[in-house]
Structure 1
Amino acid sequence: MTSGIKNRTRQAILDAAIELLADNPGCSLGDIAAAAQVGRTTLHRYFGERAELLAAVASEGGERLVRAATLADLDRGTGAEALLRLCREYFDLGSLLSLMFSGQGGECWESQDEADLGRVVARGHADGSIDAALPADWVLSTLWSQLYAAWSYLGERPDESRHHVLDLLTRTLSNAFRPS
């Protein structure tokens, strides 16, 4: 039971760090401890210094990205369908994406193998679901930039529903990748 409590406490600290660092990369460890509802000394028992916490955030981010790719089932359907499923999974990562886009999240996104995504785009080229004139790196850059745009849009419009913004995002990407 003790390890379960330790795991929950550690996860609460990581979740709070991701949320706060996404909005304010300079937030204090005290702010993160308060958001995780633990004392600062408890935070320091788990992460002796800020660098350890940031490394753990990057590792957690990488795990979440891999989990999202697994849930997207990239080997199923057309290349375009797989990328849209991945986009939906990534959209749910919210603050982690904001942290990635700000450059403050370490190198967690490198855990997602770009070669895997390149193969999905190549499959889309071959099956005709992605315009063959669009290079894979262009398609992936477009996917990332539109995820950023969707989260920025959502952040600037607190009354907007996540569901509606996700619909806008997938509609935009579907049309952007579709062959002429």
Structure 2
Amino acid sequence: MTVKRYAGTSSCYPRRVTDAQVSGSRARTRQAIVDAAIEVLGRNPAASLGDIAAAADVGRTTLHRYFAERAELLAAVGAEGSARLARATAQARMAEGTGASAVHRLCQEYFDLGSLLSLIFTEPGLTAGPATDGPDGCDPEFAAMVERGHRDGTIDPELPADWVQSLVWSQLYAGWAYLAETGASRHEVLRLILRTVDGAIAVKPT
């Protein structure tokens, strides 16, 4: 139980703070630290814990209460990053529509991962990325999407799934590098990525 003293009076009134409230507050602080770590490390993988604490608007002592070591924070960042990547993949609805339209949606959802995308590129082992146990090391869901595009005539059948997967990731990387170097708007960079990918995978006239 905590005691709250009301300004202008000498009275103290007990105010119960439940375990759920304490737990919720701790969870929010922990999440704020992890979110800040993704943003800061996405810009600078060598950033210090002090930089992350400042971005999370907490003291370094508070950060260490939640994550005693840098490795513990990185593990939490990896888990959060993997969860966000999985949600983005699900939101892209890879099994719906034409193959090309699904690739288009996937690029949009992954681009919206923001700083996490930069972190995936600079620290590829940190998050659990798409599965690679399909043919030629390609994510099975991605491979099925591309093969559907081959059948429905929206993806060039000369392009194997693993090539298209590499193309998508390389263009996302190029887009974020371009964004950092030029200061172009995110809307414009996404437009360029989609135009490049859509054009690259389209069936070429014979």
Q: Please give the TM-score of this superposition, normalised by the length of structure 1.
A: 0.93
Larger RCO of the pair (alpha carbons < 8 Å, separation 6+): 1
Q: When you count helix as a share of all residues, which structure comes out higher?
A: 1
Equivalent pair of 1:66/1:111 in contact (CA under 8 Å): no
Once residues 46 and 62 of structure 2 are traced to their aligned partners in structure 1, the CA distance between those partners, rounded to angstroms, is: 20
Shift of 1:107: 3.4
Shift of 1:3: 2.6
Equivalent pair of 2:131/2:140 in contact (CA under 8 Å): no
Once residues 132 and 89 of structure 2 are traced to their aligned partners in structure 1, the CA distance between those partners, rounded to angstroms, is: 8
1:94-113 → structure 2 map (5 Å cutoff): 94-103=114-123, 106-110=126-130
Equivalent pair of 1:62/1:108 in contact (CA under 8 Å): yes
Once residues 105 and 34 of structure 1 are traced to their aligned partners in structure 2, the CA distance between those partners, rounded to angstroms, is: 26
What residue is the counterpart of 1:122 in the other structure?
Answer: 147
What SS is found at the alignment partner of 1:108? Answer: coil
What is the alpha-carbon root mean square deviation over aligned residues? 1.6
1:84 to 104, 108, 111: 104
What residue is the counterpart of 1:143 in the other structure?
Answer: 168
1:156 aligns with 2:181: yes
How many residues are matched? 179
Letter matched to residue 45 of structure 1 = R
Q: Percent identity?
A: 60
Bigger radius of gyration, 1 or 2?
Answer: 2
Once residues 163 and 123 of structure 2 are traced to their aligned partners in structure 1, the CA distance between those partners, rounded to angstroms, is: 20
What SS is found at the alignment partner of 2:175? Answer: helix
Q: Structure 1 segments of 4 or more deviating over 6 A?
A: none
Shift of 1:172: 0.8
1:34 to 54, 58, 70: 54
Q: Deviations over 1:85-136 (max 9, x none)?
A: 0110110111111111112661332469811111111111111111111011
Shift of 1:13: 0.7
Equivalent pair of 2:34/2:76 in contact (CA under 8 Å): yes
What residue is the counterpart of 1:73 in the other structure?
Answer: 93
1:10 to 30, 38, 44: 30
Once residues 12 and 100 of structure 1 are traced to their aligned partners in structure 2, the CA distance between those partners, rounded to angstroms, is: 19
Structure 2: give runs of 5+ residues left out of the alignment: 1-20, 134-138
Shift of 1:55: 0.9
Q: Please give the TM-score of this superposition, normalised by the length of structure 2.
A: 0.82
Once residues 119 and 196 of structure 2 are traced to their aligned partners in structure 1, the CA distance between those partners, rounded to angstroms, is: 23
